[in-house]
Amino acid sequence: MQFGLLEMWAAMGAVAKTVAIMLIALSIITIYLFIERQLVFARARKKSREVAPKLADLLKSGNLKDALVLANKKEYKGSHLARVSAAGIQAFIESKDAKLGFDEQIESASRAGERARTLFNQELRRGLAVLATIATSSPFIGLFGTIFGIINAFRGMQLTGSGGIGAVAGGISEALVTTAVGIGVAILALWCFSMLNSKIEIYDAEMANTSSQVVDFFIKSSEAR
Residue whose C-alpha is closest to residue 186's, from 146, 143, 137, 144: 137
User: Is 47 part of a structural domain of the chain?
Assistant: yes
User: Is 36 part of a structural domain of the chain?
Assistant: yes
Let me know the angle formed at the C-alpha of 217 by 215 and 220, rounded to the nearest 5 degrees.
Answer: 115
User: Is 116 part of a structural domain of the chain?
Assistant: yes
What is the C-alpha separation between 17 and 26, in angstroms, rounded? Answer: 14
The length of the chain, given as a count of residues? 225
pLDDT at residue 96, rounded to an integer? 87
User: Is 224 part of a structural domain of the chain?
Assistant: no
Please check whether residue 88 is in contact with residue 211, taking contact to mean a CB–CB distance below 8 angstroms.
yes
Per the structure, the count of domains in the chain is: 1
The residue range of the domain holding 63 is 5-219
pTM of the model: 0.82
User: Is 225 part of a structural domain of the chain?
Assistant: no
What is the C-alpha separation between 110 and 99, in angstroms, rounded? Answer: 17
Helix residue ranges per DSSP H, 61-101 = 64-71, 80-97
Helix (H, G, I), strand (E, B) or coil at 62: coil
> Which range (34-43, 83-92, 150-159, 170-179) has the least confidence?
150-159
Residue whose C-alpha is closest to residue 117's, from 212, 39, 29: 212
pLDDT tens digits, 132-175:
999 999 999 888 877 777 776 666 565 555 555 554 555 566 67
